[in-house]
Chain A
Amino acid sequence: MIATLRDPKRLRAKLRQWSRDPYMVVYGVLFVAAVIFPPLASFATGTSTLTGLAADAGVWVLLAIGLNVVVGFAGLLDLGYAAFFAIGAYTYALLASAQLRSSPLHQAVHLPFWVLLFLAMFVAASAGAILGAPTLRLRGDYLAIVTLGFGEIVPRVFRNDPGHWTGGINAIGGIDQPTIPVCLDGPWSQGDDFKLQFGAVNCSFSLSDPTAYYVLMVILIIACVILVTNLQISRLGRAWAAVREDEVAAAAMGVNTRNIKLLAFGIGAAFSGFGGAYYGAKLSLVSPDNFDFTVSITVLVMVVLGGMGNIPGVILGALAVYFLEFKFLTDLPRNAAALANQVGLQGLLAPNAATSWPGLEDFVGRLNFLVLGLILVLMMLLRPQGILPSRVRAQELKAEGAADDTVFDARAGQT
């Protein structure tokens, strides 16, 4: 890799190869967009609110990448993905806040964010393995129902607060903010926070300015994409593909199907643990309400809508659904009211008790989920394979450039 970068000829060849690969182009566009987004957003709106929203979207991207390993690669339908997200978030919340002082432990624990990021990942992966071990002998729908149950149990356990560890319905607040590790902390830092000024962009981990979170999230996503891509084209990725297609044949070819499925489950859970720790830090509040069934379903929708099994597709799907749900639909009532004002339909704005008309803004707000549902139905009807469906054999094609005797496969990439 480094040798490639140093040699201009090889670098140019590599770039040319990438520019022909549509997925590399998608990655490139996403990366450029990620870099120019914060200054653009703060220039346009004067605040960094949009950057914060984008950082939150990043959590969903991480979750979608992780669920894609389970659903897209290994073909296991997991409807309780939010459970691992919750486990990751609570791991961080418990070990980086004052919460444990009021627990039976009577001692607050404040471990650094960077350690906990990996610890949360590990804890979530272990939870995935523990859930998976007895249940992965189930197939298809049966597995989906078991995971659904698990996804309901975990947040409920945190809510019911057994032994006064998790704070229950009161949630855990006042969670530590990340700080840059001491070894990277130089004269540019003021006090305990990492503060770095890039022109107008202030990189510090504080709730008022989410730019640093955004940068961290972009770095995390890039790392995860590289690692998952490696996995996909490895021996394990191939075994997942085989298990998804024909478990019996895969077993007959020497694939330990139980272990390979367990691995997919564990790795998928690890990503949500990662996302969970970040989410806890960013929000500085972890409440059992944040991990209900809709979270699992939303992530699943992101994966399916983006294109199961295809990482850039899943990223696009996550961004699209996030935008739809958390920006487009939340702003829709206000925008509808503004539009009505402009076209001269002010009469619709005010509620009318006689006709039980709730007022346009309220009315549109009530229609939110209907609109979301309609959009999802339409997208699935028009593009059932997802925004960017998976390529199954690009590796061979890329390596050899042999497209002569290959037949385009209309069914490829569909579920």
Chain B
Amino acid sequence: MSAQESERAGETILDLEGVTKRFLGLVAVDNVSFEVKRGEVFALIGPNGAGKTTLFNCITGMFPPSEGRVSFDGRDITGYKPHRVAFLGIARTFQNIRVFDYMSALDNVRLGQHSRMHAQIWDAILKTPKARREEAEVTERAHELLRFVGIERYANSFARNLPYGAQRRLEIARALATTPRLLLLDEPAAGFNPQEKVELMKLVEKIRAQDVTVFLIEHDMRVVMGASSRIVVLDHGIKIAEGTPQEVRSDAKVIEAYLGKSA
């Protein structure tokens, strides 16, 4: 997979065309279009309530956009159910951590591999050699992924007993377990201290090096500036800027959105 993916670097992997989401009278996302290129770290920033998470939800099928099109890898996935989107290769994390509290960290990651497993109900009930082999492979891979994000020592703890930072990392490991080609991270560094943020960005770079395109939402401009190659800025549901970190940083509209209009 990785060889093929890196060859195609630079192609469009995710394409949003005029995506709009209305909740009754409220327009949460208004006619937003942009493209995410294969192999990059792409960031979506914006003040609170700008519609960033709503946009993620539209992409991953949590709810369909009111208007517009979402295509992934050349395929129109608008209105697909979340599990189909995940199966096609888009994984996500959540802003408010949603690990499975009463499952072990290991089980959380094993669950992530659910859609890549082939054991049918008879295999499961009768515990056939096929199911056993698959389960062993999945366990092995889950340990690898926990090691990859650096929380292997928590493998057997309940997810809810993990420290906050480890839970964020666990969510990333669980998302990686679905073998995504595009990983959506919804404020992965929220609540982190500067040191932890640096470590997280290292992890993001490591993920990108595995030929997974990363698309992240972030609040903290400084974090995003260092890590991402391109940025889209959303304010009140409207795209107000797009470009490299330098371009976005000096954009008057972005400064206004973050700091307010100067009198």
Contacts and interface: CB of A to CB of B under 8 A. Distances in A.
Interface of A: 227, 230-231, 234-239, 241-242, 245-246, 248-257, 263, 392-393, 396-397, 400, 402, 405-407, 409, 412
A263 B125 CA distance: 12
A397 B105 CA distance: 12
A409 B131 contact: no
A402 B138 CA distance: 19
B119 to A, nearest CB: 5
Interface string B97-115: 0111111101100111011
B114 A239 contact: yes
B99 to A, nearest CB: 8
Interface stretch (B2-10, B153-161, B204-212, B224-232): B153-161
Interface string B114-141: 1111010101111100010011001000
A376 B33 CA distance: 59
A69 to B, nearest CB: 11
A230 B98 contact: no
A234 B116 CA distance: 14
Nearest to A401: B156
Given A230-B124, A231-B125, A393-B104, A253 B131 contact: no
A253 B103 contact: no
Nearest to B93: A252
B126 A250 contact: no
A402 B157 CA distance: 10
B94 interface: yes
Given A230-B126, A242-B111, A396 B175 contact: no
Nearest to A246: B98
B102 A245 contact: yes
B104 A238 contact: no
Given A245-B103, A246-B98, A253-B178, A234 B161 contact: no
Q: Which residue, of B91, B106, B111, B175, has the highest number of chain A Cβ atoms within 10 A?
A: B111
B135 A253 contact: no
Contacts of B107: 238, 241, 393, 396
How would you classify the secondary structure of chain B's contact residues: helix, strand, loop or mixed?
helix
B123 to A, nearest CB: 8
30 contacts: A234-B125, A234-B127, A235-B131, A235-B135, A238-B103, A238-B107, A238-B110, A239-B111, A241-B102, A241-B103, A241-B107, A248-B62, A248-B98, A249-B94, A251-B82, A251-B86, A252-B82, A252-B91, A252-B92, A253-B114, A254-B87, A254-B114, A255-B115, A257-B83, A392-B104, A393-B103, A396-B155, A405-B157, A406-B157, A407-B158
Contact of A241 (B62, B100, B123, B175): B100
Contacts of B222: none
A237 B123 CA distance: 12
A393 B159 CA distance: 11
B81 interface: yes
Contacts of B157: 405-407
Contacts of A248: 62, 82, 98
Interface residues of B, number: 49
B111 A250 contact: yes
Nearest to B90: A252
Contact of B156 (A241, A253, A263, A397): A397
A251 B83 contact: yes
B135 to A, nearest CB: 7
B178 A254 contact: yes
Given A249-B94, A253-B86, A409-B158, A230 B127 contact: yes
A253 B94 CA distance: 11
Contact of B119 (A234, A246, A397): A234
B60 interface: yes
A246 B156 contact: no
A255 B111 contact: yes
A251 B103 CA distance: 16
A252 B103 contact: no
Contacts of B110: 238
Contacts of A245: 100-103
Contacts of B127: 230, 234
Interface in B172-204: 174-175, 177-178
Contacts of B111: 238-239, 241-242, 250, 253, 255
A249 B92 CA distance: 9
B156 A406 contact: yes
Given A230-B124, A253-B178, A392-B102, 6 more contacts: A241-B102, A249-B100, A252-B94, A253-B174, A255-B83, A406-B157
Contacts of A246: 98, 100
| Highest count of chain A CB atoms <10 Å: which of B135, B154, B177 | B135
Contacts of B134: 235
Given A251-B81, A397-B156, A235 B119 contact: yes
Contacts of B119: 234-235
A248 B92 CA distance: 11
A257 B82 CA distance: 10
Contacts of A239: 111, 114
Contacts of B114: 235, 238-239, 242, 253-255
Contacts of B112: 253-254
Contacts of A237: 124
Contacts of A251: 81-83, 86
A405 B166 CA distance: 14
B98 A392 contact: no
A393 B175 CA distance: 21
Contacts of B138: 235
Residue of B60, B107, B115 contacting most chain A CB atoms (<10 Å): B107
Contacts of A400: 156
A396 to B, nearest CB: 5
